[in-house]
Structure 1
Amino acid sequence: MRLTKMVMLASAAALALTSGAALAQDVAREDTVIFDLDRTIKDPGNFNWFTSGTKRQHGAHQAMWEPLFILNYETGNLDPWLGTAFEPNGDFTEWTLSIREGVEWSDGEAFNADDVVFTVNMALGNEELSQREAATIRGQVAMVEKIDDLTVKFTLQNPNPRFHVENFGVRIFGSFLIMPEHIWSEVEDPATFAFAEPIGTGPYTFTSAATNRAIWDRNDNWWGAKTGFMDLPEPLRLIWLETGGEESRAQLMASNQIDAAQNVTIGTFEAIQARNPNVIAWHNGYPYAWPDPCARQLEINTTVAPWDDANMRKAVAHIIDRNQIVNVAYEGTTVASQTMFAQYGSMAPFIDAVVEAGYGLPASADVAAGQALIEAAGYSMGSDGIYEKDGEDLSVDIHVNSASTEYTRTIDVVVEQLNRAGIAARSVPVENGVFWGEVLPFGAYEMSYSWLSCSSVNEPWASMTRYTNHSVVPVGERSPGFNNTARWNSDAAAAYTAIVDEMGGLGMGDPAIPAMVAEAYQYLDAEMPFIPLVQAAKLLPYNTTYWTGWPTVENNYNHPAFWWNHTHQIIHNLEKAE
């Protein structure tokens, strides 16, 4: 892609930046960090994160609302932030939170146990607070109580060894955010309160917002600097700017008008770098991209013949060449998956256990092994190169969400591989709402492309429990939470479920878990209710013209998804370029 062709396409975003600068002329560009925002802010005056809509990823939970803890994807540890410790009792039915001393809201009021207890109780007592984190708290917490100003005890409805990271650790995207009791306690209806003049404990305060941008300025009276927790971050101003898509964000990045951009293709990234060599990515070379938590895979409906035969599913796994998917569909910007898991440092012990047990997937195909399994099932190759049995061709329809060329290109590669091996495969693209609303949850597919193992980022149970037989429902009924849409329900599935259930009762970090993962994985490997393909790819350009310290594989203090609640870490690591 030639960036000279993008200039006019980027004009709307450039004008938006200019208008934002007009409001912000007292802060120099070299003191400002500008983040790419991939959506319109539909209600710029509404910061009620408890209800649906864009309420926090335009800076609110990256700069103003701080989390209690931040999960480190590399180490698997919970880095303390507003909290200093979160300890369970022996059976994981009670958790005790310790709050950092000296934390303040930006208006000077103390942040303490009263705020935590009030906010949790507000979510427990109001089902109209519909955001996922609030609903999760309602489903898990029986009671919350103040022990003292800096200590809170949670009593759970059921034992949960993962309660702290699931709710307060920025495991994926966000966490349950604590609100100031002294403001929200005066609100008549928390579901309709806009919180139009928001405050938080973070080092930045809200300045202004429009549908295409939000501006935040540094609070030099931030509690963290006063208490010695952390120095003030260097940027004086943060702007989240709606750039209008890949072409315009590329132009703005190339011309130093933004500092962090959303996902781009490899062609666009190389064009940006050709014009602006100060632009970097997670990797310094191929694959460039960071793998997000949702590794890609092929789902297989285990109730539909001939794919109800585990050997036929394994045949497909042998035939698929993951290297070719990487090279063709992703143009080298990802890597083949070895297991169902996202390949982070914190997941390495579990991935290694699976691979060492002999259940890891090879990156290349073994077509002959796949064809041998097909022929053992009674199929013979027809004159047209397609297997047949009893006068019928061996065929399969693969449903794919048409919302992204990443998805359709991947399945185009898989379809071609299967056809070359003798399976008459066909891609069936469907609209996003139909795919997620009808095809996947109701089992209305033979095979489909998705990422339904997504969940585990620091421990294996979250992903593995999605394929237990607890979630099996008949085809035509909605699978709970998109779990086990494959309807895997064999004796092997029962054995797998028993191991995963036992694992679920162990504390995170229990030394028995890696071996249990490998033991359970033998059943996935034997029956293949889904086939891992490749790691997800997010190619996120960062600009070092004004700011250095961006997260990279060499500087991996944490991952680079700057629209998540952990972005506080990124901002605090930024330093002015010399």
Structure 2
Amino acid sequence: MKPTTRLLLSSAAMALALTGMAPAQEVAREDTVIFDLDRTIRDPENFNWFTSGTKRQHGAHQAMWEPLFILNYETGEMDPWLATAMEPNEDFSEWTLSLREGVEWSDGEAFNADDVVFTVGMVLENEELSEREAATMRAQVAAVEKIDDLTVRFTLNSPNPRFHVENFGVRIFGSFLIMPEHVWAGEDPATFAFYPPIGTGPYTYSSADTNRAIWDRNDNWWGAATGFMDLPEPARLIWLETGGEESRAQLMLANQMDIAHSVSIGTFEAIQAQNPNVISWHDGYPFAWPDPCARQLEINTTVAPWDDPAMRRAVGLIIDRTQIVNIAYEGTTVPSSTMFAEYGSMRPFIDAVVAAGHGLPATGDVEAAQALIEAAGYTMGSDGIYERDGEDLAVSIHVNSASTEYTRTIDMVVEQLNRAGINARSVPVENGVFWGEVLPFGAFEMSYSWLSCGSVNEPWTSMSRYTTASVVPVGERSPGFNNTARWDGDAAAAYTAIVEEMGTMALDDPALPGMVAEAYGHLAGELPFIPLVQAAKLIPMNTTYWTGWPTAENNYNHPAFWWNHTHQIIHNLERAE
């Protein structure tokens, strides 16, 4: 139930208690949605998203800047938003974008093809605009042209069946955002702060500081005026920096936060015990939503004895994923059956791999693993560790020390390997060293990561990360963290040939699942990496004031509210009765 006292303290007023700043205006708590912000806003008066370091997840791309499309993780479909369609030519070298009629910027100017052509052209001409989506656009597009006010044609540098979803579909986190030509024209795009900002979304910028941003509803929003969609119910949105898990919990308990970043199962259960209005993606275990980056064990295939596929398969057989779930994750995730994130849109490919016999077991088979080890010439020593030629079978596993999730998982893997006869040890390293030196340069025997991340609606994006095109010697940087295992040889070449052909095919080509299974056979036989478990994001959502949050049962899309698709979440929110 709601508190009996009508709480008129807006979230801006709550920020007052934290910052000493006065709220811009009074808005009832029940008209306000308060979102968790997991980072400080470095420059509250800089909204130039094209430049590195300028963040947009403090409401800018969730409430103000709308995407052209929003990818639905369950169906794999591209839900139209500012655009209505995007169609390729026969070989995917040209794409034609159709914009929605009647879209306006919040200052009343029309949003049209001129804005799209201007924004893309600006990025193509300015290499200093370095944010990921800008760099991707520059790498893929040769030319952009206006056909008419609502139609734009893109000519690509090379054919790409995934161009629309990679750039405009909010595939992961964000999308390429179109800016208003009438504001940006004549400005230096590398230094223009775009302050105060405007967008096409149903909320306009009100104020911001380093620890919060406030957005107020624009009752003249184009979407309601054209009948595209009703105005969202919340009158105000606040992104508030919480400072950590304990603060999130306290704000949830006090009903002064409506959705928070991931917390541990212990914290979530403590919150829910005192505030039963707080829910999660699943109503019970595993509670958490799986984010796109499933966890895995990387193996350096150039280092003996792990250059032997049989020895890598032995490690794969030893690992007990269910035990990792139960102990390291306290039941908040599930074992991975393949390299892929387990979304509805990925189900045809996962099912094809499993049906072909390449799926991973949830538990280990130590006896089968030991048979492979012994076939490689190892014998069990009196200390319970295998040895050969007077040397123990040993391995060091590097792990990023930035999170207890990572270290607890590898501690569990180390324990499993030691029990099976491999002298394993964890090597925790600082975040910068892990990502800057260990992984990219192959300075590891094994390591913990999520480098098959990428595929959320089609298989090529993740599978292409392990082709022979990315093989470089140890000591050279792996391009884009791809194939850090340095997997090469006949099986890798056969895998690469299939994956490269997949890369030329339409995303809905019926031949794809079978090709995925065929390629996966080479991967499963050699195991350059070992999938472990799905990633776990236990996101608390408070229904005291607002209902309609995305859940596994109300799966209109996923709950990552720091992403550009959050427009869908906001439009689905309804005042609690």
Q: Secondary structure of 1:545's partner? A: coil
1:415-430 mapped onto 2 (5 Å cutoff): 415-430=414-429
Q: Distance in 2 between matches of 1:166 and 1:244?
A: 32
| Aligned pairs for 1:43-58 within 5 A | 43-58=43-58
| TM-score, scaled relative to structure 1 | 0.97
Question: How far off is 1:55 after superposition?
Answer: 2.7
Mapped contact 2:24–2:206 kept (Cα < 8 A): no
Aligned residue number for residue 6 of structure 1: none
Counterpart CA distance in 1 for 2:440 and 2:16 is 40
Q: Does 1:522 align with 2:521?
A: yes
Q: Is the 8 A contact 2:16 2:22 kept in 1?
A: no
Residue 232 of structure 2 is matched in structure 1 by 233
1:155 alignment counterpart? 155
Q: Is the 8 A contact 1:444 1:475 kept in 2?
A: yes
The residue that corresponds to 2:302 in the other structure is 303
Q: State the match for 1:409 in structure 2.
A: 408
Deviation of 1:14 after TM superposition, in Å, equals 5.7
**Within 5 Å, which residues of 2 pair with 1:101-116?**
101-116=101-116
Q: Deviations over 1:492-549 (max 9, x none)?
A: 0000000000111001110000000000000111000000000000000000000000
- Give distance in 1, aligned partners of 2:357 and 2:17: 53
The 5 Å alignment of 1:259-338 reads 259-338=258-337
Counterpart residue identity of residue 41, structure 2: I
1:571 aligns with 2:575: no
Q: Deviations over 1:359-392 (max 9, x none)?
A: 0000000000000000000000000000000000
Structure 2 Cα separation of the partners of residues 43 and 157 of structure 1: 35
CA distance in 1 between counterparts of 2:417 and 2:494 reads 31
CA contact (8 A) 1:256 1:543 kept: yes
Unpaired runs of 5+ residues, structure 2, are: 1-12
Q: Displacement, 1:16?
A: 4.9
Cα distance in 2 between the residues matched to 1:244 and 1:461: 38
Contact between 2:15 and 2:212, CA under 8 Å: does it hold in 1? no
Moved over 3 A (4+): 13-22
The residue that corresponds to 1:471 in the other structure is 470
1:165 is aligned to: 165
Mapping for residues 465-544 of structure 1, pairs under 5 Å: 465-544=464-543
CA shift in 2, pair 1:250/1:16, >3 Å? farther
Tell me the CA shift for residue 25 of structure 1. 4.4
Deviations 1:330-370 (A, max 9, x none): 00000000000000000000000000000000000000000
* Count of aligned pairs between the two proteins: 566
Secondary structure at the counterpart of residue 111 of structure 2: coil
Residue of structure 2 equivalent to 1:215: 214
Shift of 1:19: 5.6
Query: One-letter code of the match for 2:304?
Result: A
Q: Say if 1:246 and 1:264, in contact at 8 Å, map to a contact too.
A: yes
Residue 554 of structure 2 corresponds to 555
Q: Which amino acid aligns with 1:236?
A: A
RMSD after superposition = 1.2
- State the partner residue of 2:72: 72
Q: Is the 8 A contact 2:70 2:78 kept in 1?
A: yes
The alpha-carbon deviation at position 490 of structure 1 amounts to 1.3
- Distance in 2, matches of 1:522 and 1:72, equals 29
What is the CA-CA distance between 1:21 and the residue it aligns to?
8.9
AA at the equivalent of 2:295: R
User: Which amino acid letter does the alignment assign opposite residue 27 of structure 1?
Assistant: V
Give the Å deviation of 1:196: 1.2
8 Å CA contact retained: 2:48, 2:54: no
Q: Does 1:546 align with 2:536?
A: no
What is the DSSP-based 3-state SS (H/G/I as helix, E as strand, rest coil) of the residue aligned with 2:246?
Answer: helix
Tell me the percent identity: 83
- Aligned residue in 2 for 1:135: 135
Aligned amino acid, residue 237 of structure 1: R
2:537 maps to a residue whose letter is: K
**Runs (5+) with no aligned partner, structure 1:** 1-12
Q: Deviations over 1:63-103 (max 9, x none)?
A: 00000000000000000000000000000000000000000
Instruction: Give the 3-state SS of the residue equivalent to 1:298 in structure 2.
Output: strand
Name the aligned partner's letter for residue 287 of structure 1. Answer: P
CA distance in 2, matches of 1:137, 1:526: 36
1:67–1:20 distance in 2 versus 1, CA, 3 Å:
farther
For residues 378 and 365 of structure 2, the distance between their equivalents in structure 1, rounded to whole angstroms, comes to 18
Task: After TM superposition, give the deviation of residue 256 of structure 1 in Å.
Answer: 0.2
> Is 1:391 aligned to 2:390, yes or no?
yes
Partner letter of residue 55 of structure 2? K
* CA drift at 1:26: 2.2
Residue 373 (structure 2) pairs with residue 360 (structure 1): no
Q: Tell me the equivalent position of 1:251.
A: 250
Q: CA deviation at 1:53?
A: 1.8
- Distance in 2, matches of 1:528 and 1:416, equals 20
- 2:9 corresponds in structure 1 to none
Q: Distance in 1 between matches of 2:20 and 2:221?
A: 25
Q: Assess, with a 3 A threshold, how the Cα gap between structure 1 residues 280 and 24 changes in structure 2: closer, same or farther.
A: farther
> Matched residues in 1 for 2:16 and 2:245: separation?
16
CA contact (8 A) 1:17 1:241 kept: no
- Aligned residue for 2:292, secondary structure, equals coil
Deviations 1:270-319 (A, max 9, x none): 00001110000000000000000000000000000000000000000000
Normalising to structure 2: TM-score of the pair? 0.97
Q: CA deviation at 1:186?
A: 2.7
Shift of 1:52: 1.5
Q: 1:488 to 1:106 in 2, by over 3 A?
A: same
Aligned residue in 2 for 1:462: 461
Deviation track 1:188-214 (CA, whole Å, cap 9, x = no partner) reads x11100011100000000000000100
Partner of 1:126: 126
Aligned to 1:3: none
- Does the CA-based 8 Å contact 1:283-1:552 persist in structure 2? yes
- Whether contact under 8 Å (1:16, 1:212) holds in the other structure is no
Aligned position for 2:5: none
Residue of structure 2 in register with 1:7 after alignment: none
Aligned residues of 2:398 and 2:444 also touching (Cα < 8 A): yes
The residue aligned with 1:9 is none
Summarize the Cα distance change of 1:366–1:438 in structure 2 as closer, same or farther, 3 Å threshold: same
